């Protein structure tokens, strides 16, 4: 059963996996998970390292900066409120002179609610409708939009969209890599892990975008736990991030735990509605459905020259 859960979710960390196992039993009433629900981290990793587990688990361009004075160059300060997004672009590579698709990744700084979209090109004409669709998928009001200094975002059309929605527009500071660390980490842990590194032609962008909207985004927000670090300072003032067992939760769980959570939601969206979305399937049932659709999609699109990541 642990193998099946790991295969469905893509081998998450031990704390995240244990959180899923516990939710399968306590939240979704799956009796078969009664023993795994309270498994210790040590035993979980022992099982993953066993010969039986291994036999069953076998499975087969830099940002272009712009000098346009749009957006304020500073780090956003959410102050514990959801709606402050970190946004970045992931390019799926070139092949024989042809551009690949572009993934648009948006992550809320407080709840880690994540919405991914896909576009054929990052010109303003192509990016604008995808960006509007991404903003629409967040259940809470958007208060801030933070990006790097790439020209796909630092332009007057994007600025006009955000201005019309009364959204604060900020951009990264020079030599401050931590400004975009959250979304860049999600680029690798989600998009690269799910889609890989091979070139996917631009004409397949709509297929990917539909998959993200219908299956991947709900999985990320209702069924995939994230780590929310507790930050402590030592006697020298150095920050230290600590992850405890209780620091793992899905973005939806994190949103529910906020004081006055209902007050942050968009008009027409309720916590009851979000709860219905979360309870449609268990975490692993949705992961299996999402993974099967992803595998079918990647067989359907034309992937050229897949390059696996290098591990040192």
Token code pair at residue 74:
């500073």
Instruction: Determine, yes or no, domain membership for 135.
Output: yes
* pLDDT band at residue 252 using 50, 70 and 90 as cut-offs: very high
* pLDDT band at residue 178 using 50, 70 and 90 as cut-offs: low
Which stretches within 10-58 are classed as H helix? 14-26, 41-48, 51-57
Interval 126-146 mean pLDDT: 93
The verdict on 169 and 88 lying in the same domain is yes
- The domain tally of the chain equals 2
Instruction: Determine, yes or no, domain membership for 22.
Output: yes
The verdict on 139 and 31 lying in the same domain is no
Instruction: Determine, yes or no, domain membership for 276.
Output: no
**pLDDT exceeds 60 at position 69:** no
Please report the pLDDT score of residue 64 as a whole number: 55
The verdict on 10 and 95 lying in the same domain is no
The verdict on 20 and 135 lying in the same domain is no
Instruction: Determine, yes or no, domain membership for 230.
Output: no
Q: Which of 155, 182, 211 is the last residue of a domain?
A: 211
Please report the pLDDT score of residue 29 as a whole number: 94
Output the 3-class SS for 204-265.
Answer: HHHHHHHHHHHHHHHHHHHCCCEECCEEEECCCCCEEEECCHHHEECHHHHHHHCCCHHHHE
The verdict on 79 and 51 lying in the same domain is no
The verdict on 131 and 14 lying in the same domain is no
Q: Which of 12, 40, 60 is the last residue of a domain?
A: 60
The verdict on 39 and 147 lying in the same domain is no
Q: Which residue has the higher pLDDT, 178 or 225?
A: 225
Q: Which residue has the higher pLDDT, 104 or 163?
A: 104
What is the CATH number for 95? 3.30.420.10
* pLDDT band at residue 258 using 50, 70 and 90 as cut-offs: very high
Instruction: Determine, yes or no, domain membership for 250.
Output: no
Interval 140-148 mean pLDDT: 91
Residues spanned by the domain of 27:
1-60
């Amino acid at each position: 059963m642990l193998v099946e859960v790991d295969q469905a979710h893509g081998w998450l960390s031990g704390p995240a996996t244990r959180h899923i196992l516990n939710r399968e039993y306590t939240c979704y009433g799956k009796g078969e998970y009664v023993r795994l629900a309270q498994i210790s981290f040590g035993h979980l990793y022992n099982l993953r390292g066993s010969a039986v587990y291994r036999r069953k688990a076998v499975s087969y361009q830099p940002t272009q900066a712009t000098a346009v004075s749009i957006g304020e160059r500073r780090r956003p300060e959410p102050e514990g409120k959801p709606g402050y997004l970190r946004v970045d672009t992931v390019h799926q590579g070139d092949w024989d002179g042809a551009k690949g698709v572009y993934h648009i990744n948006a992550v809320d700084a407080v709840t880690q609610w994540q919405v991914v979209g896909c576009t054929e090109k990052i010109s303003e004409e192509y990016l604008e409708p995808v960006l509007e669709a991404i903003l629409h998928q967040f259940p809470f009001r958007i208060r801030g939009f933070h990006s790097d200094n790439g020209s796909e975002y630092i332009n007057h059309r994007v600025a006009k969209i955000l201005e019309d929605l009364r959204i604060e527009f900020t951009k990264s500071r020079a030599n401050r890599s931590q400004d975009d660390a959250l979304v860049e980490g999600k680029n690798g842990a989600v998009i690269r892990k799910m889609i890989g590194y091979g070139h996917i032609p631009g004409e397949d962008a709509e297929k990917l975008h539909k998959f993200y909207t219908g299956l991947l985004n709900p999985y990320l927000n209702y069924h995939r736990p994230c780590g929310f670090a507790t930050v402590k300072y030592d006697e020298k003032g150095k920050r230290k991030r600590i992850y405890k067992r209780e620091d793992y939760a899905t973005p939806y769980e994190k949103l529910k735990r906020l004081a006055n959570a209902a007050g942050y939601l968009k008009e027409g969206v309720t916590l009851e509605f979000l709860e219905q979305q979360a309870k449609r399937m268990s975490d692993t049932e949705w992961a299996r459905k999402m993974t099967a659709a992803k595998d079918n999609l990647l067989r359907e699109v034309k992937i050229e020259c897949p390059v696996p990541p290098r591990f040192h």
